[in-house]
Structure 1
Amino acid sequence: MRLGLQVSWFSWPDAPASIGPTFGRIAQDAEASGMWSLWVMDHYFQIRGIGPSELEMLEAYTTLGYAAGLTSRIELGSLVTGVTYRHPGILAKTVTTLDVLSGGRAWLGIGAAWNEQEHRGLGVPFPPLKERFERLEETLQIVLQMWAESDDPFRGRHYDLERTLNSPPAVRRPHPPILVGGMGEEKTFRLIARYGDACNLFDMGPERVRAKLLVLADRCAEVGRDPREIRNTVLSRITLSRDGGGRAPSGETTMSVAQAVDKLAALAEVGVDDVIIGMANPEDAAVYELVADLVSQVAPVEAARP
């Protein structure tokens, strides 16, 4: 099992001046601890459940480019880009640029978008859900066409591209992996089965995750795809402390490494390959000693696949 880190909070003391140095250290500490990947949200405003919209929020791909320049191994992605935020051709160019400059470490994380408030706030169109899913499928088709190094036109219902030129091409072959985020069994899972290299689910507990992955396997069968070609990833919340059972400043209960190993092993038993964690204290350099221990202990754990 591989462990990644998602950073979704940038409101550190002395922000905004502290944001660059603090985030840079987080990226370097995550890489040094052996974490496989580093992810940021793609939002204009901070989201409910984390804090008020007025809190600091960075643009995702500028942030990932900054992290790329400070690291050499850790993989980089947005968890996840809303399809409405960028024109598909520009999104393909953006992720390709990140891949080229990072030496082949970029992911495309993408979903149907949901936060209407930030769209309205910055004047970005927010079409109905049905149209957003139509646009999501066309976007997946466009980025794959551009990554196939075809410059043919693309004619879709929502997008019309005269020339899908993408130079330079991505470094990673056959292309940067595509992670489709979302829990919807009808629309999202069918798009994952057809176009995705990875899914991303919320950590609802092992049994509910198992049920979702069984539905995803059915969607793969419908299109003749082996579900083992798709990396099953889960976004979870784990804040480590030496003994566990304490309280983080956020109020959440901390876990020991042993407790976290048990939690992650239970997810592996239902078919989860990779877990991306959010921590209450990613800016605390001392916690990465515990993170490194956790990474090494779960590395041999393999997802139970049929």
Structure 2
Amino acid sequence: MDLRIFTEPQQGATYDDLLRVAQATEAAGFDAFFRSDHYLKMGDGDGLPGPTDAWITLAGLARETKRIRLGTLVTAATFRHPGPLAISVAQVDQMSGGRVEFGLGAGWFDTEHTAYALTLPPLKERFDRYAEQLEIITGLWKTPVDETFSFSGEHYTVVDSPALPKPAQSPAPPVIIGGGGKKRTPELAARFADEFNLPFASPEAALAQFERVAAAAEAVGRDPKEILRSVALTVAIGRDDAEVARRAGAIGRDLGELRESGLAGTAAEVVDRIGQWREKTGITRLYLQVLDLQDLDHLELIASDVAPQL
């Protein structure tokens, strides 16, 4: 089971905060450091000192880490044009020596769009644009160096692009697609995804969505086993019940609810819960949503008491 650390810096974190967590993630032996791609806080808190840009952050971390994978859960297709986004991600992949993984979603948080002069189209158009972005970005990366790439869609047109620069990974960084949509999301995952991620769902809901993705893959002649299954869950792990309660309280979560919907408890309890997830859904990768970025002891505890048992 791959264990990855997943952060939500829009809730209030500087680049230096993220650097400390990323370096602690690497030192503790985790597989990867991921971050959300949002420009506005959600829920309680003031969000200070303000958002950090996902790909600028990952570019910095690419030069200040050596081993861990780096990526987004997930970049919103509404934030950036596909051509410049392909360039940015390819460059960060080069800067990291080929450690980038590219999560892309359709976009959804309307308030952050109005707060930062971004357009959030109606759902159908949003998915149409999302599908075209996937076509363009992966097409640019996979075009041979001595050839050009063109694309004609309803929303985007590419004419004789040199399709440069290339990412370090060949033919492209792994693409992560996720979400609970029952039709178009599985269809896009079947075409483009190396990994399908379902965040903050129950095992039953996750299994149903994984099966939709598998059916969509079979429909296009692809082996469903080529698409890795993963989930993201909020964590609050402690050496005893008091420490678990303290960590849940520090992130403003009800402990009972978090035990039910996330990964809360002692190491033994969480290991058992992860085992149930794997048995029910077939996941082989888990993103641990760590919301208190000052609590590096939390990461060390997971690395020492949870990871070895998996």
TM-score (norm 1): 0.89
Q: Distance in 2 between matches of 1:202 and 1:282?
A: 19
Give the strand-richer structure, 1 or 2: 2
Residues 6-46 of structure 1 show CA distances to partners (whole Å, capped at 9, x for unaligned) of 1104666xx7xxx2332211000011111111111111211
* Paired position in structure 1 for 2:261: none
Q: Is 1:281 aligned to 2:287, yes or no?
A: no
Residues 105-141 of structure 1 show CA distances to partners (whole Å, capped at 9, x for unaligned) of 1111011100111212222222111111111111111
Q: Judging changes above 3 Å, is the alpha-carbon distance between structure 1 residues 226 and 135 closer, same or farther for their aligned structure 2 residues?
A: same
Q: Is 1:295 aligned to 2:307, yes or no?
A: yes
Q: Judging changes above 3 Å, is the alpha-carbon distance between structure 1 residues 121 and 286 closer, same or farther for their aligned structure 2 residues?
A: closer
Q: Which amino acid aligns with 1:57?
A: P
Q: Distance in 2 between matches of 1:55 and 1:46?
A: 11
> Which ranges of structure 2 fall in alignment gaps of 5 or more residues?
256-263
Q: Distance in 2 between matches of 1:157 and 1:9?
A: 34
Q: Judging changes above 3 Å, is the alpha-carbon distance between structure 1 residues 166 and 297 closer, same or farther for their aligned structure 2 residues?
A: farther
**Deviation at 1:166?**
3.3
Q: Which moved more, 1:266-275 or 1:250-259?
A: 250-259
Q: SS where residue 190 of structure 1 aligns?
A: helix
TM-score (norm 2): 0.88
Q: Is 1:70 aligned to 2:45, yes or no?
A: no
Structure-to-structure mapping, 1:1-306, within 5 angstroms: 1-9=1-9, 19-48=14-43, 51=45, 56-149=50-143, 150-244=147-241, 245-248=244-247, 249-252=250-253, 253=255, 254-269=264-279, 270-293=281-304, 294-298=306-310
Q: Judging changes above 3 Å, is the alpha-carbon distance between structure 1 residues 289 and 118 closer, same or farther for their aligned structure 2 residues?
A: closer
Over the matched positions of the two proteins, sequence identity in percent amounts to 34
* Paired position in structure 1 for 2:258: none
Q: Which amino acid aligns with 1:44?
A: Y
Q: Distance in 1 between matches of 2:193 and 2:22?
A: 26
**Deviation at 1:286?**
2.1
Residues 53-78 of structure 1 show CA distances to partners (whole Å, capped at 9, x for unaligned) of 67622111111112212211111111
Q: Which moved more, 1:245-254 or 1:67-76?
A: 245-254
Q: SS where residue 236 of structure 2 aligns?
A: coil
Residues 195-221 of structure 1 show CA distances to partners (whole Å, capped at 9, x for unaligned) of 111111023222222122122211112
Q: Distance in 2 between matches of 1:136 and 1:166?
A: 19
Q: Judging changes above 3 Å, is the alpha-carbon distance between structure 1 residues 53 and 113 closer, same or farther for their aligned structure 2 residues?
A: farther
Q: Distance in 2 between matches of 1:200 and 1:60?
A: 19
Q: Judging changes above 3 Å, is the alpha-carbon distance between structure 1 residues 280 and 156 closer, same or farther for their aligned structure 2 residues?
A: closer
Instruction: Report if the CA contact (8 A) 1:33-1:295 is conserved.
Output: no
Instruction: Report if the CA contact (8 A) 1:154-1:164 is conserved.
Output: no
Instruction: Report if the CA contact (8 A) 1:39-1:78 is conserved.
Output: yes
> Which ranges of structure 1 fall in alignment gaps of 5 or more residues?
299-306
**Deviation at 1:171?**
0.8
Residues 204-251 of structure 1 show CA distances to partners (whole Å, capped at 9, x for unaligned) of 222222122122211112111111100111110112211244232124
Q: SS where residue 67 of structure 1 aligns?
A: helix
Instruction: Report if the CA contact (8 A) 1:146-1:166 is conserved.
Output: yes
**Deviation at 1:165?**
2.4
Hey, which bits of structure 1, 4+ residues long, moved more than 4 A? 50-55
Q: Which amino acid aligns with 2:4?
A: G
Q: Distance in 2 between matches of 1:20 and 1:282?
A: 11
Instruction: Report if the CA contact (8 A) 1:44-1:59 is conserved.
Output: yes
Q: SS where residue 286 of structure 1 aligns?
A: helix
State the Cα RMSD in Å. 1.9
Q: Distance in 2 between matches of 1:274 and 1:223?
A: 25
Instruction: Report if the CA contact (8 A) 1:46-1:55 is conserved.
Output: no
Q: Which amino acid aligns with 2:7?
A: V
